[in-house]
Amino acid sequence: MLKSASILLLSAAPAFAAGRAITTDDLLSLARISEPQLSPDGARVVYTVGVPDMNANRVARNLWIASMNGGESKALTSTGRDGGARWSPDGRRIAFVSSRDGAAQIYVMSIDAPGEAKKITDVSFGADNVVWAPDGRSIAFTSEVYPDCRDEACNTRRDKEREENPVRARVYERLLFRHWTSWSEGKRNHLFVVPADGGRARDLLPGADFDVPPREREGPHPIAFAPDSRTICYIAITDAVEATSTNADLFEIDANGGQPKRLTTSPGFDGAPAYSPDGTRIAYRSQARAGYESDKWRLMVYDRMSGKSTNLTDAFDRSADTPLWSSDGASIYFNAEDRGEMPLFVIPAAGGAPRAVTPNTFNGEFDVRGNAVVVARSSLASPVELFALGAAGPSSDHGQAEERALTRHNAQLLGQLELAKPESFTFRGAGGVDVQGFLLRPPAFDAAKKYPVVMLLHGGPQTMWGDTWSYRWNAQTFASPGYVVVMINRRGSTGFGQKFTDDIANDWGGKAFTDVMSGLEAVLGKYSFTDRQRVAAAGASYGGYLIDWLESQAKGRFRALVSHAGVYDLSSMYGATEELWFPEHEFSGTPWTNEASYDKWSPSTYVLEFGKYKTPTLVVAGEQDFRVPYTQGLEFFTALQRQGVPSKLVLFPDEGHWILKPKNSSFWYSEVLGWLKASLQ
């Protein structure tokens, strides 16, 4: 039985922009801003703008530039295949990655002559993770190779032999043999250095049978040049069984090659290295526990002379994300999830309490140069745009930075739409613990009316619903047909302290289930405009698992359900997924060492409980999803069909865990919203 719940409204009254409801076409025409990078003098920012190209069925990406003092932004490239720009140390050039001529290669372009780009790499399998040497003479990057090949001719020959071989059999002798959407073909990501003016790219790790960075969890800036340009720091997982290990460490290697030096030995993941301006220290983020991808990210500083690391955020019960040094080396910036938002923080490098330098907003990617700070900010009511922080904020002892908008790529379209500002609320969840959520009202809202409720369930399970824009589960698009959208940060969510995150381990259908059901009842009891007779729920990944769980456990409470990439049978999931550390942590072992836990928390166990399955359900999956193999959806759909439950299966043969191609995304929204409409009208 659900416990009674009280609810506390945390935000001001809802506000709307005058206009019409957003459509899927609107959503798929918005500019997607990412990868902001400040020039060395902090005066300009170069960034990537992606716009879906429906005809080509892909997102076209180009480079843009804006002044930190304001004014119009302008495009630097127009090929639709460019991104990942990085400034040269003198601020006169940018290096970037482009697939304009096939495989992604590194190009260098004068900032005063945009469009006249010179290709400086010609590696068989493309380039990524561009980093300039501080002296401007060379560029580090990563690229796939066959580990036993020592030159490009070997890589090209091996790939040609594979393509021409009529036998397509794959043969493996160890885990990890596939990941996300791709099968292993015996290649590894290696660290390379190439002259900035072009020339032969040198593999610094020839023969290495590991990836730089780890394919499983690259994270922010996985490689870094030391200020003297002589040394490069990188991250790698060198454990023999990658499928069960999250043990990435920091390594240093001479930029001319040689024997790497391991810097860290934590049993968890160490990543995001950043050298201090004087080169004596490396800031990085680290997880202490082995095999747990959602452990707290600690902000660490490694002293290169003593070889010792210091934890700067032991008393800070949030996970530090991207560490970047201030220009004087006295402070370190990082962002961290906090109750549905992601403020930017600064902390003394010598130790002390972190201080927020932005309002309680969601700030994703950011960059720092001197006194200049740029953040990529969004909300549930607006897609990402860039904002500049004033010099007074970061350099002062207290208070927040003054800020101003730098880009307005989506202003014209947004001005036509009516988008609700999210309302944050709290209620009592399982065990009386405070749980937070967001509520969005529909367009043309009338408090005298009754509106259907759609509850969205986030994945992870250790992620959160943030006050941030999404193109895959866009809350405004779900609200647009006339629905109240509810998004609950149930147990297991990040940004609410590590214990709150840890509480879902070996308890997938326990406190989290109580939290979402209690939150739903709290909303229905508090808001008179919600129709408790017309309620639906939709979710993906772990959110899809929770949908499968609700099918039997919620006793017919919902009119309709949508399960995307949902985990249905934990034992069969274990045998087919790739990152085995995940289920082994979440269920305290394997299906043969802890069978009881796998059985207890599998939705498949409860097919016949509570009067069988009843709720009409849409099941969606991508056939290239190796994280939650699409067969999980097939099993669930079969159980629904065999019990006579109205159900529908939608499979995308060319998609993985996420539906990314624009035309597929449009079709996905039409199917999901159509399913909800049929049940909630």
pLDDT for 494-529, tens place per residue? 999 999 999 999 999 999 999 999 999 999 999 999
Q: What is the mean pLDDT of residues 338-356?
A: 97
pLDDT tens-digit readout, 434-484? 999 999 999 999 999 999 999 999 999 999 999 999 999 999 999 999 999
Mean pLDDT computed over every residue of the chain? 94
Count of beta carbons in the 10 Å neighbourhood of residue 161: 9
pLDDT of residue 390: 77
Integer angstrom CA distances of residue 310 from 60, 288, 301, 389: 43, 13, 5, 29
% of residues, the chain, pLDDT over 70: 96
In this prediction, residue 393 has a pLDDT band, given cuts at 50, 70 and 90, of very low
Give dist(CA 613, CA 37) in Å, integer: 51
In this prediction, residue 395 has a pLDDT band, given cuts at 50, 70 and 90, of very low
Long-range CB pairs of 57-60, under 8 A, 24+ apart, other chains included: 57/661, 57/662, 57/663, 57/664, 58/661, 58/662, 59/32, 59/662
Judge whether 389 and 402 are in contact, CB under 8 Å: yes
pLDDT of residue 216: 83
pLDDT of residue 16: 45
The pTM (predicted TM-score) of the whole model is 0.95
Bigger pLDDT: 207 vs 8: 207
Give dist(CA 313, CA 71) in Å, integer: 38
pLDDT tens-digit readout, 176-190? 999 999 999 999 999
Confidence check: pLDDT of 681 > 90: no
Provide the token pair at 290.
């082995």
Judge whether 460 and 541 are in contact, CB under 8 Å: yes
pLDDT of residue 119: 97
pLDDT of residue 70: 86
211-220, 327-336, 566-575: lowest mean pLDDT where? 211-220
pLDDT of residue 463: 98
pLDDT tens-digit readout, 237-268? 999 899 999 999 999 999 999 999 999 999 99
Give dist(CA 203, CA 254) in Å, integer: 12
Long-range CB pairs of 555-558, under 8 A, 24+ apart, other chains included: 555/610, 556/614, 556/615, 557/517, 557/520, 558/615
Q: Can you give the C-alpha Rg of the chain in angstroms?
A: 25
Q: Which residues make Cβ contacts (< 8 Å) with residue 495, sequence separation at least 6? A: 318, 319, 336, 337, 338, 339, 340, 341, 342, 464, 466, 489
What is the set of domains in the chain, with CATH numbers?
7-14+414-680 (3.40.50.1820), 32-413 (2.140.10.30)
Cα–Cα nearest to 523, from 558, 495, 487: 487
DSSP string of 527-540? -TTEEEEEEEEEEE
Confidence check: pLDDT of 116 > 90: no
Cα–Cα nearest to 371, from 106, 68, 27: 68
In this prediction, residue 14 has a pLDDT band, given cuts at 50, 70 and 90, of very low
In this prediction, residue 1 has a pLDDT band, given cuts at 50, 70 and 90, of very low
Integer angstrom CA distances of residue 482 from 87, 423, 562: 46, 17, 18
In this prediction, residue 10 has a pLDDT band, given cuts at 50, 70 and 90, of very low
pLDDT tens-digit readout, 590-616? 999 999 999 999 999 999 876 689 999
pLDDT tens-digit readout, 51-104? 999 999 999 999 999 999 988 899 999 999 999 999 999 999 999 999 999 999
pLDDT of residue 17: 47
Quick check: helix, strand or coil at residue 600? Answer: helix
Confidence check: pLDDT of 109 > 60: yes
Cα–Cα nearest to 366, from 397, 411, 339, 332: 332
Give dist(CA 30, CA 38) in Å, integer: 24
Confidence check: pLDDT of 113 > 70: yes
Strand partners, 341: 338
Provide the token pair at 123.
């590696």
Judge whether 478 and 465 are in contact, CB under 8 Å: no
Bigger pLDDT: 390 vs 376: 376
pLDDT of residue 71: 85
pLDDT of residue 610: 60
